[in-house]
Amino acid sequence: MVILCGIKNCDSVKKARNWLEGRGINYQFHDFRSDGLQRERVQQWNRAVGWETLLNRRGTSWRQLPQQTRDDIDESSALALMLENPTLIKRPVLELNDGSVHVGFNAEHYAALFPTK
79 CB neighbour count, 10 Å cutoff: 18
Assess whether 5 carries a catalytic annotation. no
Burial 16-48 (b: 16+ CB within 10 A, else e): bbebbeeeeeebebbbbeeeebeeebbeebbeb
Active-site residue identified among 4, 10, 88, 103: 10
Query: Which residues, at least 6 apart from 65, have a Cβ–Cβ distance to it below 8 Å?
Result: 81
Q: DSSP letter for 90, please.
A: -
Helices (H), 23-106: 32-35, 39-49, 51-54, 60-63, 67-71, 75-84
Residues with catalytic annotation?
10
